[in-house]
Amino acid sequence: MATTTRQKAGWGAANTVTFVVIAIPLLWIASLSFKTPAAIADPSFWPAQWTWGNYRGILTNSTFVRPLFNSIGIGLIATFIAVVFASMAAYAVARLTMPGKRLIVAGALLISIFPQISLVTPLYSIERSIGLFNTWPGLIIPYIAFGLPMAVYILAAFFQQIPWQLERAAKVDGATPWQAFTKVIAPLAAPGMVTSAILVFMFCWNEFLFAISLTSTTSARTAPAALAFFSGGSQFTTPTGPIAAAAVVITIPIIIFVSVFQRRIVSGLTSGAVKG
Amino acid sequence: MTVAPPGEAPARHRRKKPPLSEGARAERKLGLLLCAPAVIVMIGVAAYPICYAVYLSLQKYNLAFPNAVKFVGLSNYGAVLSSPYWWQALKVTVIITIFSVLFELIFGMALAEVMFRTIFGRGFMRTIALIPYGIVTVAAAYGWLYAWTPNEGYLSALFNNGAPLTSTVPSLAIIILAEVWKTTPFMALLLLSGLAQVPGDLEKAARVDGATWWQRFTRITLPLMKPAILVALLFRSADAFRIFDNIYVLTGGGHNTYSVSILGYDNLFSALNLGIGSAISILIFICVAIMAGVFIWGFGVKAPGADLAK
């Protein structure tokens, strides 16, 4: 199909509009993060004076560094466990003959549309009584539960595309079902696991409601929650610059992720979540 | 041991149940074992707490008076349902849900076309489009908040240095704007899977027959995409209904812009009222359940993953 000049111009315009609409809010936060406190009170888009001061401020301040560390740790642990559990469940759903599959898929669907606020009150109460409140596991456990459905969908769809014969061949050669899983299927499933891990980690990284409800100090508070509790360097400085800098810091990993894994994220979200 | 034909999954599914071979029993046992951790976590974090919330919602329970816990039946529900705050929150939530999902559907369709069909820089456009999807909602929300702050924000400066976040309707518009900017890419990705299923030949044939772009879109693309659109609507409506982060940052729920999630949060952490907070939680859960029910049974959304369980 030959492309006409008009088509080229049309797509060029569409690309440009899309790019501008997405980029401007991002550039604005970046610009704010480089403004000096004096320049903040100036609505021009770019800073009149540039400074690294906001970054220096937040990166030497434990009210942001500690939550950043919590975010990374809690995100990685929750992602790892969620992907392991989801792989096991997805394998069973996709490959094995067993009762109750429908129930598992329905449960996963239910969780993925579940209003988190409905769990905040009971989880707050339960976690306080069993000592999980304001701890890493107190956030990791709910994150695993809410990361699972997406991972199960993506992995089950992925497992279905892996050739059956290999598994059967392994069993003919005397492998147990468990060996067939770990030795044959798991390596083939690795790309699907990477995709679901990226998406689960992005969910954990983004989560806010549990993060502010189930924590009370920086010992477990994650970075998005810390943003909301920021105050200026002193009582009289507005925290605009530091908040913008912190927002940029927690956005950088996301930009790296989507740049490196664009294909996987697109295929994961289009194939796994909604094979309609 | 019976030998199963080397067929595909459906053949296995139709196999008669009673004579379970040793292999089949081992398989079943393994399957249950493999599912157990995921099921236990989901029950522990969702099913059990929601039941506990039902129990809490029937108690008079204020954390400020922890010794005055008392069974009060449905009176917490009565208190919530007769409160103007609940109805205001529900109204705000429904308005935000309807408008943001509507705009996301329109822009998401356009963005899906760009991500799927653009003739230059497709990879780059897809990467760019994923950034709002991945960005931390709170981080983006602060960007919008400062952009609309008078004397500080470029958007406020564009609109006569106005302070739109100090009155209800403009605040809601900005909340919807922030929501739409952030989640349109997700909607586009959900739609993309539908778009990918429209056979290219059909498009081409219609084009040869002289159908205009609009005719091809409304007569071919849309009907074939209907299942994907319905699934996307279900997911996004459920997600928009629980909106919290954007409102928390942009207005804190002030100027009558609180959603049901903000109301529930405030009742727990400002009023410390576990009983009322739980009743609100349960009512929100019921709302989402009704919404999902309407989509699945009313519009015939084929629940995602239904074909996985065959």
What does R_g of chain A's alpha carbons equal in angstroms?
23
Q: Under 8 Å CB-to-CB from A66, ≥6 apart: which residues?
A: A218, A219, A221
Residue B4 predicted with pLDDT over 80 = no
Q: Residue A17's pLDDT is what?
A: 93
Q: Could you tell me the pLDDT band of residue B262, with boundaries at 50, 70 and 90?
A: very high
**Contact (CB<8Å) A118/B281:** yes
Give CA–CA dist B48/B42, Å, rounded: 9
Residues of A in contact with B274 (CB under 8 A): 121, 125
Q: Could you tell me which chain A residue has the CA closest to the CA of B154?
A: A43
Q: Which two tokens stand for residue B196?
A: 């990918």
The mean-pLDDT minimum among A192-201, A236-245, A260-269, B92-101 falls in A236-245
Question: Which one has a higher pLDDT value, A26 or A101?
Answer: A26
User: Bridge-partner residues for B273, per DSSP?
Assistant: B62
Mean pLDDT throughout A153-180?
84
Which is it for the CA torsion B154, B157, B161, B162, positive or negative?
negative
Q: Residue B3's pLDDT is what?
A: 45
Question: Which one has a higher pLDDT value, A61 or A220?
Answer: A220
Torsion of CA A123, A124, A130, A131, to 10 degrees: 130
Question: Which one has a higher pLDDT value, A273 or B264?
Answer: B264
Q: Under 8 Å CB-to-CB from A217, ≥6 apart: which residues?
A: A134
Question: What are the C-alpha distances in Å from B197 to residues A270, A275, B265?
Answer: 11, 10, 42
Q: Does some domain include residue A153? A: yes
Q: Does some domain include residue A29? A: no
Q: Residue B305's pLDDT is what?
A: 60
Q: Does some domain include residue A132? A: yes
| Closest chain A C-alpha to B160 CA, distance in angstroms | 11
Residue A86 parent element (H or E): helix A62-95
Give CA–CA dist A196/A62, Å, rounded: 31
Q: Could you tell me which chain B residue has the CA closest to the CA of A128?
A: B63
Mean pLDDT throughout A123-139?
94
Q: Residue B170's pLDDT is what?
A: 93
| CA A10 to chain centroid | 34
Give CA–CA dist A194/A199, Å, rounded: 9
Residue B79 predicted with pLDDT over 90 = yes
Minimum-distance CB partner of B152 among A40, A124, A142: A40
Residue A242 predicted with pLDDT over 60 = yes
Tell me the HSE value of B141 on the side-chain side, using a 13 A CA sphere. 25
Mean pLDDT throughout A156-184?
83
Mean pLDDT throughout A162-181?
83
The domain limits of chain B are: 84-298
Residue A263 predicted with pLDDT over 60 = yes
Using a CB–CB cutoff of 8 Å, tell me whether A213 touches chain B. yes
Residues above pLDDT 70, as percent of chain A: 94
Torsion angles phi and psi, residue A43, rounded to 5: -75, 5
Share the mean pLDDT of chain A.
Answer: 87
Give CA–CA dist B68/B77, Å, rounded: 19
Minimum-distance CB partner of A120 among B126, B241, B268: B268
| Closest chain A C-alpha to B47 CA, distance in angstroms | 9
CATH topology assigned to domain B84-298? MetI-like fold (1.10.3720)
Q: Does some domain include residue A33? A: no
Minimum-distance CB partner of B39 among A32, A104, A213: A104
Q: Which two tokens stand for residue A34?
A: 């480089």
Q: Residue A176's pLDDT is what?
A: 87
Give CA–CA dist A67/A79, Å, rounded: 17
Within a 10 A sphere around the Cβ of B297, how many other Cβ atoms?
9
Give CA–CA dist A180/A169, Å, rounded: 9
Contact present, A94 and A159 (Cβ < 8 Å): yes
Residue B310 predicted with pLDDT over 60 = no
CATH code assigned at A254: 1.10.3720.10
Q: Which domain holds residue A234?
A: 62-272
| B14-49 burial code (b ≥16 CB/10 A, e <16) | eeeeeeeeeebeebbebbeebbebbbebbeebbeeb
How many helices, marked H, and strands, marked E, lie in chain A?
Answer: 13, 0
Q: Under 8 Å CB-to-CB from B304, ≥6 apart: which residues?
A: A109, A153, A273, A274, A275, A276, B231
Residues of A in contact with B305 (CB under 8 A): 105, 108-109, 152-153, 156, 275
**Contact (CB<8Å) A265/B32:** no
Q: Could you tell me the pLDDT band of residue B1, with boundaries at 50, 70 and 90?
A: very low
**Contact (CB<8Å) A106/B303:** yes
Question: What are the C-alpha distances in Å from B53 to residues A120, A212, B93, B277, B283?
Answer: 9, 19, 22, 9, 11
Minimum-distance CB partner of A276 among B28, B227, B264: B227
Interface ipTM: 0.89
| Closest chain B C-alpha to A255 CA, distance in angstroms | 6
pLDDT per residue as tens digits for the range A88-104: 999 888 878 888 888 88
**Contact (CB<8Å) B12/A92:** no
Question: Residue B209 burial by CB count (10 A; 0-12/13-18/19+): exposed, middle or buried?
Answer: exposed
pLDDT per residue as tens digits for the range B44-73: 988 899 999 999 999 888 887 877 788 888
Q: Could you tell me the pLDDT band of residue A189, with boundaries at 50, 70 and 90?
A: confident
Q: Residue B139's pLDDT is what?
A: 94
AA letter at A190: A
**Contact (CB<8Å) B50/A119:** yes
| Closest chain B C-alpha to A24 CA, distance in angstroms | 10
Give the three-state DSSP class for B241. Answer: helix
Contact present, A238 and A179 (Cβ < 8 Å): no
Question: Which one has a higher pLDDT value, B217 or A25?
Answer: A25
Question: What are the C-alpha distances in Å from A209 to residues A30, A119, A221?
Answer: 25, 10, 11
Q: Does some domain include residue A252? A: yes
Share the mean pLDDT of chain B.
Answer: 86
Q: Residue A171's pLDDT is what?
A: 84
Using a CB–CB cutoff of 8 Å, tell me whether A96 touches chain B. yes
Total domains in the fold of chain A: 1
Number of residues assigned to chain B:
310
Q: Could you tell me the pLDDT band of residue B98, with boundaries at 50, 70 and 90?
A: very high
Residues of A in contact with B44 (CB under 8 A): 141, 145
AA letter at B244: F
Q: Residue B8's pLDDT is what?
A: 41
| Closest chain B C-alpha to A124 CA, distance in angstroms | 9
Mutate which: A121, A172, A206, vs B, most B CBs within 10 A: A121
Question: What are the C-alpha distances in Å from B1 to residues A138, A170, B21, B54, B157?
Answer: 48, 18, 6, 49, 78
| Closest chain A C-alpha to B164 CA, distance in angstroms | 15
Q: Residue B68's pLDDT is what?
A: 78
pLDDT per residue as tens digits for the range B7-25: 444 444 544 556 678 888 8
Mean pLDDT throughout B202-210?
86
Q: Which two tokens stand for residue A12?
A: 């060029």
Within a 10 A sphere around the Cβ of B159, how many other Cβ atoms?
13
Question: Would you say the pTM of this structure is higher than 0.90?
Answer: no
Contact present, A242 and A230 (Cβ < 8 Å): yes
Give CA–CA dist A206/A269, Å, rounded: 17
